[in-house]
Amino acid sequence: MKKVFCVGELLIDFVAENQGSDLSKAIKFTKKAGGAPANVACAISKLGGRGIFIGCVGEDPFGHFLLDVLKAENVDISLTQLSDTFTTLAFVSLAEDGERDFVFSRGADRELDYDPLLRKSFKDNILHLGAATALLGGPLEKTYSKYLFDALTKEMFISFDPNFRVDLWKDEEETFIKKCMPFVEKSHLCKFSLEEAQLISGIADPEQACDFMHEAGAKIITITLGAEGTLLSALGIKKIIPSIAVQPVDTTGAGDAFIGCLLHQISDLGNFDPVFEQFDLLEKMVAKANKAGALTTTQYGAIAALPTKEQLEP
């Protein structure tokens, strides 16, 4: 089984449950572990895979809480760094349909330093670049790009999820698009929401947006469509893979559960050739990943809601 290195933020989600979607009206918050790449690492490990988290947290009670959560999910945290800067926080408010409003208070995640010794561990493994904060500047952004280069030289399978957050990129969308394109061009697998695919491609039709991404260099593209399922585009074929029906209470982490489940299945293949040759195999993998994403929406919090291997069995 291949290792999956997940690079980016690990943070505290302060979740205002049952308060509606207006964060300004929230009164009580529950502390949850979050951060897209950390969620993905947990999703992989919870399914029995080898999830490795690479990121930075504060040398404070919140940072130690987060590391304890990842350890409890059997995530390898040996590459996580500690900083004097406070742990990054996100305040999340949920509506009845599970949609969310949130605000970031950015801290230690931006301080991740590049470790050149990691290249020795990269050979023939998987690198997932799915951070919401990685392109916002600071050491993390430089580290992100350096690990992409290392992944290319070490023949890794590269996965990219832009994780666009409108509150982080207000009036800076063009900058976001420009910074995303090198990762789209060089990744084997790109996972987008419909909003992200439309934003980055500048094309409203999702199938045409896929064509744009393929022309840029992406080999396999998934566009998650919520309850409708996922548009899978690869090997010249496009198909919507349906999801399962659920009653969502919190969509936080659903996309991370999806890509984590998909990467776990790819890591379990032994070699990557089949995903570039067999659309039927990809279709089965995406269907299972859809189920993982859907089940995650039925509970509050991201990591706590991630499904187990047993929950995904037919």
Please name each of the domains of the chain with its CATH number: 3-11+34-85+107-312 (3.40.1190.20)
In whole angstroms, what is the distance from residue 214 CA to residue 199 CA? 15
pLDDT digits (tens, 9 = 90+) for 79-93: 999 999 999 998 888
H or E stretch covering 208: helix 206-216
For position 96, what pLDDT does the model report? 67
For residue 81, which of 140, 156, 36 has the smallest C-alpha distance?
140
For position 167, what pLDDT does the model report? 80
In whole angstroms, what is the distance from residue 191 CA to residue 130 CA? 9
In whole angstroms, what is the distance from residue 1 CA to residue 294 CA? 25
For position 304, what pLDDT does the model report? 84
Give the residue carrying structure tokens 């934003």. Answer: 199
Weakly modelled stretches of the chain, pLDDT under 50: none
Q: What is the DSSP secondary structure assignment for residue 172, as one 8-state letter? A: -
For position 116, what pLDDT does the model report? 96
Task: Please state, for a pLDDT cut of 90, what percent of the chain lies above it.
Answer: 80
> How far, CA to CA in Å, does 201 sit from each of 27, 72, 141, 259, 300?
39, 39, 22, 20, 32
What is the reported pTM?
0.94
